Structure 1
Amino acid sequence: MLPPEHDRSTAPAAAAAAATTTTISHPRPDLLIHAVPSAPDTFSILRQSLFSLTLKFENISYSIKVQTNKRGCLSLRNNESQSNTTRTILNGVSGLVRPGELLAMLGTSGSGKTTLLTALAARLPGKISGTITYNDKPFSSSIKRKIGFVSQDDVLYPHLSVLETLTYAAMLRLPNKLTYEEKVAQTEMIIEELGLTRCRNSVIGGGILRGISGGERKRVSIGHEMIVNPSLLLLDEPTSGLDSTTAQRIVATLRGLARGGRTLVMTIHQPSTRLYRMFDKVVVLSDGSPIYSGDAVRVMPYFESIGYLPPFNLINPADFLLDLANGIAPDSIREDQVEHFHGGLLLDRQDDQNSIKQSLVASFRKNLYPQIKAQILTETNISTVARSNSLKGSKNNEWTTSWWEQFKILLKRGLRERRHESYSGLRIFQVMSVSFLSGLLWWHSDPSHIQDQVGLIFFFSIFWGFFPLFNAIFAFPLERPMLNKERSSGMYRLSSYYMARTAGDLPMELVLPTVFVTVTYWMGGLNPSMITFLLTLLIVLLNVLVSQGLGLALGAILMEVKQATTLASVTMLVFLLVGGYYIEHIPLFISWLKYVSFSHYCYKLIVETQYHSLNEVYHCGGSFGYCKVGDFPAVKCLGIGNHSLWWDVTALFFMLVGYRILAFLALKMGHPC
């Protein structure tokens, strides 16, 4: 049951909206869930996890600091004198949304609608003044998992299909009480309700990959949040890029969600008349300041009461509201402009618009703000006991799925999303061509040509240091938008994502070097012992894992591909120079660099494996025709034999663990939620 006040104030809007949505099937999600015969208990379980949530926000203000030059413009040159100025994005916005209500935020571009919506979702960085409460409680981790947020930009995996995207979301976000079949049924219901049946098996696409249309992608984003039946759903421009019929269907669906007991808040740029009639409440912003906040059906009488008469032929109230937000009042301005034109004193249009905006803001603070504040103070729609019980129950089940379940689902999703990348023909061709080329260059090298063999060994350590490092750098920066979105929604633990992401890269990261070493090793004529070959392969694979860990750490720390690539290039260049092949006598003050180079340890271990005894001889053309391997300069400078090779293996293992811990800590600091 809705509050009596709501019934009185929204009855005309509800009747009008019902008249405009009679052609849309199943506007209520609970009817849709009951309509799925394969999952009779799905709705009841989801209903138990849904508790009514009243959103209150009072006197919300938000400012940012920007640098301007002496001309008052954003400074683009470092040699210009700059000063820090404060720009107000939001200024004293207040409102109240109860369960069962749909609130729409209207305003011109740059008026602060998205900023306010982000603040209500507790995702806005920086300090916000004012109070935002959820059932009279501040934001918490338990509340976070009851909130759905649909951003204006559709953040989706491009290589997954619509069905896969929503199914994986259902697997991660729906409670363990539901079986796999019931979660799939919930996914099918969302697909049918949002009109995605035709493209259910099509890939999302994006960038250079052709996929579904922009409107379909927007509906998938909405479905991604609707899958969990959230108590509070916030949407940023959900009708952007959609035709009028599809937009009406989306808003009707959202209104149905609200009537099912949820709280809905959305921003919208310029709604049609039919869409406006579906709104229960509206907030109108002008340059970050509110000029109206309250029931949608009372907006026109309010502005008429303060002297702003709508034109007689007005059809869409939203057009009138947006004109007012821009400082344009059609009737009054038209008369003023005529008078001043005939008098030869035409007022500056910008000054006139600013005066109208200031008048509207002042009227809001005088007439509407006291009423909103009184409603916030006297709101008793949900009892304190019910609120505390619902929140207490939610804390007992902080995560909807276990760590292991999250790991398995994320691993499977990651493998399907990156299968085009891991098993790409271009990547395989790159590795195979280099392996055959190097095998031909070192074709059956004579053991007496120890310089050539040592060069091949060093090539192993360098190539399989560069290749996995630069592949791993892209892992986290490219997935940063998706990670921000899903972590903000509390979909999974960061540790489960990190382990699944790194484990998903292992198959091709280990298969390709195995094939490479197998081909090049035997073509290059290295030690024909099978044990020596297997030890060489294990050392190269360990080097690959260490290199990949360093790439993950650099990507996680910087989160910028260009910066991480630049730093990785410099790092690998240093490792290349101090690896022990090019420079035999490094100055003491900088010789410590080789001890932090995994390429040095890899090179040294393979050399030790190839030449078991430093007393082995090779044909060198000296006085006796033979020389000891241990006396060869490139081998002697490595200090082989001074200590056990297990020290080198231990150093690589410490790097392997250390780099990956560093990568996880960097992610944790960047995504603490």
Structure 2
Amino acid sequence: MKHRKSVLDALKLPPPPAYDLSIQGLSIGVPPPERYLPLPVPIPYPAFLSKNKDLAYLEQTIIHDVDVRCGSGEVLAIIGGSGSGKSTLLSAIVGRLANLPVKQGELSFAPTSLSTANFQTLSARQMKDKIGFVPQNDYLLPNLTVRETLHYAAALRLPASIDSTTRRTVVDQTLDELGLTDVADTVIGGFGGLRKGISGGERRRVSIACILVALPSVIVLDEPTSGLDAFTAYEILLTLSELAKRNRTIILSLHQPRSDAYNLFTRLLLLSKGSVVYSGFTSKCLPWFESLGFRPEVGVNPLDFLIDISSVEMGDDAKREASRAQVDRLVKAWKDDGKAYSADKSVRWSRRVSKEVGAAPTKDFAGQGATALKALFNADEGDAALRRPGLISQAISLTSRANKNTMRNHGQTLGYAVQAVVIGVMLGGSFFRLKGTPTTLCFQNQAAYFYLTIVYSVYRYCNELVVFDRERADHLYKAVPWILSEVVANLSINIIFPGLFSIILYFMAGMRTDNLAENLFIFIASTVLVQLGSIGFALIAASTVREFASASLMANGTSIFFFLSVGYALLQPPVYVNWIRFINVYWYGFRITSISQFRGRTFDCVGVTGVAANQCRGDQVLVGLLIPPEDPLWKYFVPLLGVVIGFNALATVLLAYWHPGGVKHAAKSGSHKKRPTPESDMDIVRQKIHVEVKGLGLSWVRPSHLIMSEQRKKILNNVNFTCPAGQITAIMGPSGAGKSSILQLLAGRKMNAGPFAHFQREGSILFDGHPLSRDQSEMVSYVEQEDEYHLPALTVRETLRYAAILRLPRTMSRRSKLARAEEMIGMLGLEDCANNLVGGPVLKGISGGEKRRLSLAVEMLNNPAVLIVDEVTSGLDAATANVVTLHQPRSDIYKLLDNVVVLAKGGKMAYAGPRKNVEPTFNAQGFVIPEFFNPADFLLDVISIDHRPENEKATKERVAGIVAHWAEQEKKEAGENEPDSQKVEIHEPLHQESRLTPMWIALPTILERSFRNMWRQQPVFWVRIQQTPLMGALFLLFYQRLKHGPQGGQDRIGYFQQILGSLPFVGLLNSVAIFPPERDLFFHEYNSSAAYSTATFTLATTIVEAPFTFVANLLLGLFMNLLAGLTTSPRIYFQFVASTFAVQSMGESVGIIFSAFTPSMGLSVSLVSTILSIMMQFSGLTSLSVPQWLQDLAWATPLKTAARILVINEASGLQLDCPPETIVSGECLVQNGQDLLNLFGWDDYDTGKYVGIMMACCVGWRLLAWISLMIKARGW
């Protein structure tokens, strides 16, 4: 295969400075067990409290005594089985070990251009700007195109001395090198499921491209070919090999390298469970193992051979123990004699390095950008040519990037728009044309004090800061330009939508119309600034702690200080919290709006005379609110702007110096120690099923809408093949060939087309001649390409045991089901990680390969009749009809296949039939498979398009010819087989037992699983108990014991408003923190053999939630009923607890309803916040001018009845001390409990009846949540 030019060759640019890597005796330990105090921000237990705990972890290591070297111009490949420590070693090389301790050893980089006298090694931290690291996971902004992503990567990563023309040339060449030209103008997609975007393989290439555009000296890649087809994987390795020849040091880990990649690696490091099996030159590797009696067979991929002999076999105990003994022998042999065998005595490693070693000749470099890069690469440390863009350049690039990403986030924009319009209309309806009477004026100022939710902003930043943490680890930019870019990029949204809300509310509520332009502008300006302050405060919370559960608890708890010091709900806060108003954006906003609306204004209080008429003067209203009417507005506007700036400045400091983000490594769980289990009595006999695909076509269509024209993309084009029972059928093809789409259609899974789009399907898929119905889906198991649906805080063994109980027939005993789980652990080689936590995005658990095998083990538990696997390389049982996709199949795996389906890009058929006929079919077209060449790699090579300009036209013609040849052959075979086609259609109907696991089996299992998962996530566990009573304790700081003075009535109204207004959001936060992972697992299991009813899942969710909510509200009642000085008795106390419980539970139910339908939690949180805000306005506690039909509608929520229960119970026997002058001034709103009830106009005081209605509403909302889940699960 012809080698492609590197970026440097194409541009005739000089290579970067060269560095050599040296690792000597490196050992890395396991993370210490971490226990945290139950606080919003996780703080470890003090050392003296845990000093007597188990210290066995101190003796354990992940990496043990590793020696390895890699010089400039060399490629080091780190290989080994899953869990061998490859990713951990790479993390050490780039200085990102997080909480993993280095037990011993040395890791350093040495510049090759220095003489012996000037020689000085550098640590990984000192090499931070010269190392490009591609992690195993992709962190990309979803709404940018591929070209834009690389453009901004180059702008941020390349030094400022590189001009824009050179940067564009580097980006274009990188797109060509990595085969991304076809998707250069396609968005990345992926986040939240609202944009389909590019494929997983293409996303992987973009991550690599982001590093390559920076032209680093050392490139470190963790599984760079993961998810790629063999052709693209080889092209990437070839590109890396060519880059190494230009003085790069390339270090990468691999799990499935193809045979012709062997010679691309200069050095190999073979690991097994963290120990070295071989470390040295590739040329000396096979001779070493031959000396130990291990010789690869002819035609076997040497890299596969090395991984096989150094891995513990899956299967029965005898094979497992024999292979384990073999690995131990290999490790010991290398420890005893390997270092002497691989000793490198070259001059460079003896630290006698001449200036010429690795120096790049410059006479040939004369091209675009050569001068700038030559100066850059020849610069000394600290030279200006090496400096990356400064703060201003960073801010400009980040602002442009953030602006595009924000403007294209249609889900977020829609949420903002809905929130602004709906809340504006509903608030306007609640305060619609308030009359000017003393009774209603006390409510009119409430329109100036509305709840600007910060919930969505906390959620958004908790997600976006993951990308920030990743890019900060690469030292791309500082915190200051990132903050500036966020503020500027979102400024238009934060002006337009709050402005729209303000205009709607202003005119619907009948606010001040004299000097309309001035007063409306003041209202809009105040609203916008308060919105910006709210978002800045949300950023502070997310900057302090990244987990949404903890960040939302912190934001919700702290915001209570702000809302209670505003001066409306509580006129005179205690002196020790009164200072908070000076940093409170809501305090300034309330005063600005109150002064502009009431100063110098007289209300037409019809029929009101005498002393009461004084309350119809706006200045008196301000006096009652303790606001000096003569205060100028700038006195509040200036500090309001200062607080907004201060919040963002504090967030900047936190982001710069406080680093809570990143991935932590999970400690091994001590639960479920392996113990003897009986033999599985697995006796499930599946009907053999023949799968047939006829004329299958799939198109993505987005119809024309307003200014958008119709778009259509063909994904599958007339696909025909069969999957005989008892045989393995593999679907192969390059990225974008539609392999995963076929599997989703075979498994009957719904596909997400994105907003305003849908899929059009043609043809048929038959299982023994019949379409697969939903009730028969247990017979088909589908292993998805992504493995993120596992609960992160469960161990591998626990995950399999719970799955076995749910998936296996009810006729099997629990003991036998657990034995089947243990059998799968042994069959798929998961013994060594069986007690390790699975892990998730922020908790590093088992390796990617182990997680893949776990997903396969879960689906194989019940011995399905049809097993559909998206990307798998091992563990298949030939007794079932297996349909798999393969990106990089090994040659020995290819020989296990019975049938092969080859697809070209665009879902076009290139071959479908028995594996034995592949060679004759392609030979007839002139494509002869070379001897000793992996046939699977050959097929992918000939069917893939090489996007280099010099090869693109020829390869497209070649692929088109192969597709046309197969189409002709299909027509010919169809004509020959037509007389027999009717015979295939006659089949016995499929038969199986009910697919749903009974509730009496599923419910206890789900409950145990959920409690265990939540208990191990301590922040989430404690948040559910802490958040509600913490809110009560904070309220108590402000209200203390409610007084019986002139402000007593207004204080009590504000007190109840705060309670009922906050609790639904507490329920929402609890739902968002724990429900989405459980929801994803439920929907996955509902479509599998583990299916249980939506009623079971809803009941389990309720049972898990209810005790926490009830205990939390019992504690809340102690603070807010007993200690606050409300009227109380045993009846009143428990009615108070019942009211707060019902309101909080409704918040959780609403959260479940919306998250069931919206894949984007950001949109869900925004919509739920809107709904809860609206519900509060209709409760009858906030406004007296709610239209009658809305008042009637409010009876469907617990808020209305809860408000009546709290007010009626407090009014019984209430007597306030109101001197006459306070009545005249308007300071005393009500004088006794009856006045309080008269203010609201209620005449029915039966709280027992209200409790019954309220609890019925609570149950009703949970039933609505169940119905929503059922609609979503069944696809109605």
**TM-score of the aligned structures, taking structure 2 as reference length:** 0.44
Residue 414 of structure 2 corresponds to: 425
Residue 315 of structure 1 corresponds to: 300
Residue 212 of structure 1 corresponds to: 198
Distance 1:485 1:395, change over 3 A: farther
Residue 58 of structure 1 corresponds to: 24
- In structure 2, what is the Cα distance between the partners aligned to 1:429 and 1:360? 68
Q: Which amino acid aligns with 1:64?
A: V
- In structure 2, what is the Cα distance between the partners aligned to 1:602 and 1:68? 43
Say if 2:114 is the partner of 1:138.
Answer: no
Distance 1:206 1:364, change over 3 A: farther
- In structure 2, what is the Cα distance between the partners aligned to 1:385 and 1:323? 36
Residue 502 of structure 2 corresponds to: 517
- CA deviation vs aligned residue, 1:100-137 (integer Å, no higher than 9, x gap): 11110011111111111121112223553423223242
- In structure 1, what is the Cα distance between the partners aligned to 2:572 and 2:249? 71
Residue 1091 of structure 2 corresponds to: none
- In structure 2, what is the Cα distance between the partners aligned to 1:161 and 1:291? 43
Residue 668 of structure 2 corresponds to: none
Contact 1:407 1:500 in 2 (8 A): yes
The partner residue of 1:194 within 175, 178, 181 is: 178
Deviates more, 1:661-670 or 1:424-433: 424-433
- CA deviation vs aligned residue, 1:281-308 (integer Å, no higher than 9, x gap): 1011122122211110100112233x23
Distance 1:398 1:30, change over 3 A: closer
- CA deviation vs aligned residue, 1:327-378 (integer Å, no higher than 9, x gap): 68xxxxxxxx9xxx9xxxx995476246425423423565347557997334
Contact 1:28 1:256 in 2 (8 A): yes
Q: Which amino acid aligns with 1:494?
A: A
Contact 1:160 1:417 in 2 (8 A): yes
Say if 2:256 is the partner of 1:270.
Answer: yes
Contact 1:121 1:149 in 2 (8 A): yes
Residue 736 of structure 2 corresponds to: none
Say if 2:599 is the partner of 1:612.
Answer: yes
Residue 222 of structure 1 corresponds to: 208
Residue 11 of structure 1 corresponds to: none
Contact 2:20 2:72 in 1 (8 A): yes
Q: Which structure 2 residue ranges, 5 or more long, are not aligned?
A: 36-48, 112-119, 361-375, 662-1276
Residue 563 of structure 2 corresponds to: 576
% of aligned pairs identical? 25
Contact 1:584 1:634 in 2 (8 A): no
1:547 Cα deviation from its structure 2 partner = 1.5
Give the alignment of 1:474-553 within 5 angstroms.
Answer: 474-528=459-513, 529=515, 530-553=517-540
Q: Secondary structure at the match of 2:180?
A: coil
Deviates more, 1:381-390 or 1:178-187: 381-390
Say if 2:47 is the partner of 1:88.
Answer: no
- In structure 2, what is the Cα distance between the partners aligned to 1:353 and 1:88? 21
Residue 7 of structure 1 corresponds to: none
Q: Which amino acid aligns with 2:502?
A: V
- In structure 1, what is the Cα distance between the partners aligned to 2:358 and 2:80? 38
Residue 546 of structure 2 corresponds to: 559
- In structure 1, what is the Cα distance between the partners aligned to 2:337 and 2:511? 84
Residue 394 of structure 2 corresponds to: 406
- CA deviation vs aligned residue, 1:383-423 (integer Å, no higher than 9, x gap): 69989995625543453323222211111111111113377
Residue 28 of structure 1 corresponds to: 6
RCO comparison, higher one (Cα < 8 Å, 6+): 1
- CA deviation vs aligned residue, 1:535-571 (integer Å, no higher than 9, x gap): 2322222222222211111111112222222222233
Q: Which amino acid aligns with 1:518?
A: I
Q: Which amino acid aligns with 1:542?
A: L
Deviates more, 1:384-393 or 1:242-251: 384-393
Contact 2:19 2:109 in 1 (8 A): no
1:453 Cα deviation from its structure 2 partner = 5.4
Residue 334 of structure 1 corresponds to: none
Residue 384 of structure 2 corresponds to: 396
Contact 1:233 1:262 in 2 (8 A): yes
Q: Which amino acid aligns with 1:28?
A: S
- In structure 2, what is the Cα distance between the partners aligned to 1:450 and 1:549? 37
Residue 75 of structure 1 corresponds to: none
1:146 Cα deviation from its structure 2 partner = 2.0
1:596 Cα deviation from its structure 2 partner = 5.0
- In structure 2, what is the Cα distance between the partners aligned to 1:522 and 1:198? 51
Distance 1:373 1:622, change over 3 A: farther
Distance 1:145 1:454, change over 3 A: farther
Contact 1:166 1:227 in 2 (8 A): yes
Deviates more, 1:492-501 or 1:232-241: 492-501
Q: Secondary structure at the match of 1:418?
A: helix
- In structure 2, what is the Cα distance between the partners aligned to 1:449 and 1:349? 91
Say if 2:449 is the partner of 1:461.
Answer: yes
Deviates more, 1:387-396 or 1:559-568: 387-396
1:527 Cα deviation from its structure 2 partner = 1.7
Distance 1:202 1:630, change over 3 A: closer
Distance 1:210 1:482, change over 3 A: same
Residue 290 of structure 1 corresponds to: 276
Q: Secondary structure at the match of 1:434?
A: helix
**TM-score of the aligned structures, taking structure 1 as reference length:** 0.81
1:671 Cα deviation from its structure 2 partner = 5.1
Deviates more, 1:508-517 or 1:359-368: 359-368
After the TM superposition, which segments of 4 or more aligned residues of structure 1 sit over 6 Å from their partners?
A: 372-375, 383-389, 614-617
Contact 1:617 1:626 in 2 (8 A): no
Distance 1:278 1:351, change over 3 A: closer
Contact 1:62 1:90 in 2 (8 A): yes
Q: Secondary structure at the match of 2:137?
A: coil
- In structure 2, what is the Cα distance between the partners aligned to 1:360 and 1:314? 26
- In structure 1, what is the Cα distance between the partners aligned to 2:248 and 2:224? 17
- CA deviation vs aligned residue, 1:54-95 (integer Å, no higher than 9, x gap): 2222222211334399xxxxxxxx99x962423312222122
Residue 377 of structure 1 corresponds to: 350
Deviates more, 1:392-401 or 1:178-187: 392-401
Q: Secondary structure at the match of 2:19?
A: coil
1:254 Cα deviation from its structure 2 partner = 0.9
The partner residue of 1:159 within 127, 132, 143 is: 143
Distance 1:383 1:582, change over 3 A: same
Q: Secondary structure at the match of 2:84?
A: coil
Contact 1:327 1:356 in 2 (8 A): no
Q: Secondary structure at the match of 2:31?
A: strand
Q: Which amino acid aligns with 1:97?
A: C
- In structure 2, what is the Cα distance between the partners aligned to 1:239 and 1:588? 63
Residue 17 of structure 1 corresponds to: none
Q: How many residues align?
A: 610
Distance 1:599 1:635, change over 3 A: farther
Contact 1:536 1:606 in 2 (8 A): yes
Q: Which amino acid aligns with 1:105?
A: I
Deviates more, 1:94-103 or 1:488-497: 488-497
Q: Which amino acid aligns with 2:423?
A: V
1:172 Cα deviation from its structure 2 partner = 2.2
Pairwise CA RMSD of aligned residues? Answer: 3.5
Residue 100 of structure 1 corresponds to: 73
Distance 1:500 1:620, change over 3 A: farther
Q: Secondary structure at the match of 1:302?
A: helix
Residue 33 of structure 2 corresponds to: 67
- CA deviation vs aligned residue, 1:190-246 (integer Å, no higher than 9, x gap): 111111121111111214131211111111111111112221111111111122212
1:454 Cα deviation from its structure 2 partner = 5.4
Residue 440 of structure 1 corresponds to: 429
Q: Secondary structure at the match of 2:544?
A: helix
1:263 Cα deviation from its structure 2 partner = 1.2
Distance 1:419 1:644, change over 3 A: closer
- In structure 1, what is the Cα distance between the partners aligned to 2:247 and 2:348? 20
Q: Secondary structure at the match of 2:569?
A: coil
